[in-house]
Every structure is written in C-alpha cells, then in structure tokens.
Structure 1
C-alpha cells in the first residue's frame, strides 16, 4: 500500500484488506488474547500484537495495562511500523481485543489504523487465504514509529470518579449485565461484584451482529443515544480489564461521538477491595442518569492507578 492511501474508516471489511494484502500493503497485526493468542492460524504475513505480553506494562499490578511511551515505541518498532505506515489489526474472536490494539495506537498519536470487521472468522468465511502458522513476533526490518501519547485517552480511577460526578460525562461499562448488576461472579478472584454508582451498562456484545461484525452505524447510534445523548458529552469506557471497553470506543467513534476515553484499569482496578464505592442491582435508566450527580471520591492508591498515556 502506498503510505498515502486513505483508510476508509476505523473499520475495514475483509475484501478491502484482501485486495491490498502483500508486500506493498498495510502492516497486518493479530491482537488475539488468551488461548486464541497461541492459535497457529493467521492472515498471511500477520505479526503478533501481544497485549498479553510485551505490549503490556510488565510492572503494573493489573492486566493489559498500557505501557509507557518508551516501551510502546520499542515494541511497535519491532513490528516494522513507521509513522507514515498503515495498519489493519484483527483478532481470532471477531471484534474483541483488536479494538484494544486500535485504541492503543490511536492513544499514542497514530491514526492510520483500522480494525478488520469480523476479524479472522469473517476473513476465513469470505474465502480469503489463511496460513497455518502463528503470527510472528517481529518484522524482518525495524520500523521508525514513535509514540506521541495523547492526554486523556487512557484514564485512571480519579478521572473516572470525576466523570461519574459530572453531568457532562457518561461512564459506560462494557461488561455483561449480570456482572454489572453483581448477580454473576467476576472471572478474576478478589474483585467485588457490581458497578460504579452512576455508570451505565452497554455490553460490548450488543454492538455486534450475529456474525460477530459491528452493527450498522444507524443501529450503533440507536444503542448509544439513550445512554450517551447526541454527542455533546464526554464518554468514558470501562470493562473488566480495559479490553472490551475499546470495543465501545470503536462503536462510539463509528456512531459519531468524539470525546472518548478508556479506563485502563477498568473493573480489575475499581473492583479491588478499597473505599471506591460499588453499587449492585439494575442499571439506572437514561432519565436517572441524566439527572444524577454522584459525589464519588477516588481514594489514592500506591500503585496501578496513575493515568497512563
């Protein structure tokens, strides 16, 4: 791909990438997590964007923490990316952890990145080629990428507490409705059940259609509007560990929202035993959210709570 070629948007369909795959095409990154990370299948030439490993802060007490600019720069350079390059990122689940990689690059000042709609399953279903090989950890040639962190794109619990008390902001939680209500157990031990008082619940799976692709823009707007209004509020996204919160960020951008942030620690941070308040039960209605002013005070923590670029 010519570095100057324009991406059609933050989401690209399989055929778009298929027509451009090859030495002159975009850098293709596999951002799969968990068991899917070790699967020995990939889009030809794909490289590993490993948010379970090097592309997470090794010193953080929480999972999937955004690394500092120096580490992120070094790891992305190993993938052969230059500042003028173009990236398409996917995962083996469909649209799941790829959105996290998209947001990390965007938060680092790099806008020439898109998510493959439907991920590897949609790619394979379209009859496009798949290699029986795990994505490589590094490119043959190092790139010249430099992270330029954008302030406020990743936030900590202090900023989330402020958003919860601000009528001009909405905190949206991407976890399932049962986890949000506290009626389903958290998958990580030691976390309290429930949600942040004043947060709204929009499970990330509701943004996807039956094939694991992002819903049409009109449907996304219909999902966001009752909770987030028409675009004049700051939206802060949370989930379990900062991964599927980025699916909401992707959906919100597609729906036309512009003032967005991701709570990096998400419930892995807020849900730890602390003085941070937790509510249980149903989510507030849009009318209740519009009227609420929640006086949440975030208690300082010795580690894992700094706002990260």
Structure 2
C-alpha cells in the first residue's frame, strides 16, 4: 500500500476516490449543524466509508469556557487525536454534510497544531454522493491502537481578544468578518442570545457565502481578486464562533496567502452584552 502527502488544502472527491486505499489516509466527518440556515446538505447517518467522527462542537474543544467550540490545549488536542489512531504521517481529509461549512475549522485546528498534511474535501458529502460514490450508514469504530500524533502549536494561528485590541488600528493588519452583511451592519439580530449588534472596528466584511459557489470553493483566480486589495497585510478572520471565519481563511490560503490568524472567541466573545469591547455599526 502507498502513503500520500497532500499538496493542496482543498481536494476533490475524485482525488479522494483515487487515493482511498492509501495506507496513511484518515477521513474525518467534522459535521455540525449550522447556526443559521445554509442551503443544501445531507442528513445524518450517511457518511463517506471509513469515516471517523471529529466533533469539535461538543467534544474536541476547550471545556473550561462557556464560549462555543474554542480551541483546546495542545495536550488535550493531542490526546484526543491519538485516540482516533491518527499519526504524525497521517494524511487527513475533513468533510461535512453541507458542502463547505464546518470542515475548514477542523482543517485549521490541525494546521494550528502543526499538522500540514490535511485538506478539506471540496463540496463535502453532497459532492461525494453526487459523484455516485458509495456511502456508509455508520461511522468507523475508534481504533484500538492509539496514534503517535504530536501537537506542535503554531504561533498566532488562533488569537484572543487582547491580541485583537492591540491591532484594531494597525494599518498593516486587516480584520475580516465572515458573517452575513446584515449582521455585520448590525441590522439583523445575532442568532445567539444576549449579544450586541455590529462589528469589530475597521473590519472588512467578506461573508463566507461569497467565497463559495454551489457548496464548493470558488476558483483560485476569483479568490485572489477578492483579497488583492489586502495582499500585503496580515489577515485576521472572525465570525460568530470561529467556524465560518475558517472558511474565509481557507479561501485566503487557496489564494496564496499564509500570514493569517483566526480570532477564536469571535463575535460570541466580542459582542457579549456584559463585555465592553469597541463596536462599529
């Protein structure tokens, strides 16, 4: 059997089918229910064969905060990933049931812990089904043998509110908000209770849906055009909880950019009624 090294952070279902028998391939179902309605999607109990569950919404997250699915400590992440039988040389494909929604967050979590041999399945489970490939009705059981995955935290992959406050007026930094324009402008209510409306000062709105087309990532040239104006700047992405921010971060990565971060707390932290962070509308 062969082993593979992933050369792109986005792979097609055809690529996955062709490399399905690779010895070091790991397929992770990273699905979670969207907070706001998203078109398309496949229901539960349908999976790509050999999938393991990667649940950062309920399990692989910081359990010591009320903020949703925050990045856990490197030690906790390493332990949970080893339990899934994932190794240092594993080639990891993450997908979700919507197309591209929850999977980029999982991709970025692995990148943040130093594992670059990971990619998002473009189009996710819907694209796999539309291609006529076989599905499974159950997930694979967790393997008995632990993997040898090691966390190697990357500086500023995820950043916090204090980091954000120091860079609000830095002309060399561009902050991107991946929420819908109505939420960015403060015209639509937040989907979570006890939240203020508006956005982080000086943020640029790139709604996550604008980098997608029919559940897949737009072309590299289209993405490059979107980010051209900000190409020299460090980029920080946020959204409601750090999920859809990772979609736009993946888009920037596909456009050829490396110098970026995801604000982990995102609006769930910044916009809390009890907090006093600066806000624009």
Query: What is the TM-score with the length of structure 1 in the denominator?
Result: 0.85
Q: Give the match for residue 26 of structure 2.
A: 27
Shift in Å, 1:142: 1.5
In 2, Cα distance between equivalents of 1:51 and 1:199: 27
Task: Note closer, same or farther for the CA distance 1:187–1:28 as it changes in structure 2 (3 Å cut).
Answer: same
Q: How does 1:25-104 map to 2 (within 5 A)?
A: 26-34=25-33, 39-104=44-109
Contact 1:34–1:52 (CA under 8 A) maintained in structure 2: no
| 3-state SS in 2 of match to 1:64 | coil
Shift in Å, 1:258: 1.4
| 3-state SS in 1 of match to 2:167 | helix
Count of residue correspondences? 274
* Deviations, residues 140-169 of structure 1 (Å, cap 9, x unaligned): 422110111111110001111222211000
Contact 2:87–2:147 (CA under 8 A) maintained in structure 1: yes
Query: What is the TM-score with the length of structure 2 in the denominator?
Result: 0.93
In 1, Cα distance between equivalents of 2:24 and 2:86: 12
Task: Note closer, same or farther for the CA distance 1:32–1:137 as it changes in structure 2 (3 Å cut).
Answer: farther
| 3-state SS in 1 of match to 2:217 | coil
Q: Give the match for residue 185 of structure 1.
A: 189
4+ residue runs over 4 A deviation: 35-38
In 2, Cα distance between equivalents of 1:182 and 1:126: 40
In 2, Cα distance between equivalents of 1:149 and 1:91: 25
Q: Give the match for residue 215 of structure 2.
A: 212
| 3-state SS in 2 of match to 1:34 | coil
* Structure 2 residue 238 is the aligned partner of structure 1 residue 235: no
Structure 1: segments with no counterpart, 5+ residues: 281-309
* Deviations, residues 25-82 of structure 1 (Å, cap 9, x unaligned): 5100010013889811100010000011221111112001000011100111111110
Shift in Å, 1:6: 2.5
* Structure 2 residue 162 is the aligned partner of structure 1 residue 158: yes
Contact 1:93–1:119 (CA under 8 A) maintained in structure 2: yes
Task: Note closer, same or farther for the CA distance 1:170–1:100 as it changes in structure 2 (3 Å cut).
Answer: same
Equivalent residue for 1:131, pick from 104, 128, 136: 136
| 3-state SS in 2 of match to 1:278 | coil
Structure 2: segments with no counterpart, 5+ residues: 35-40
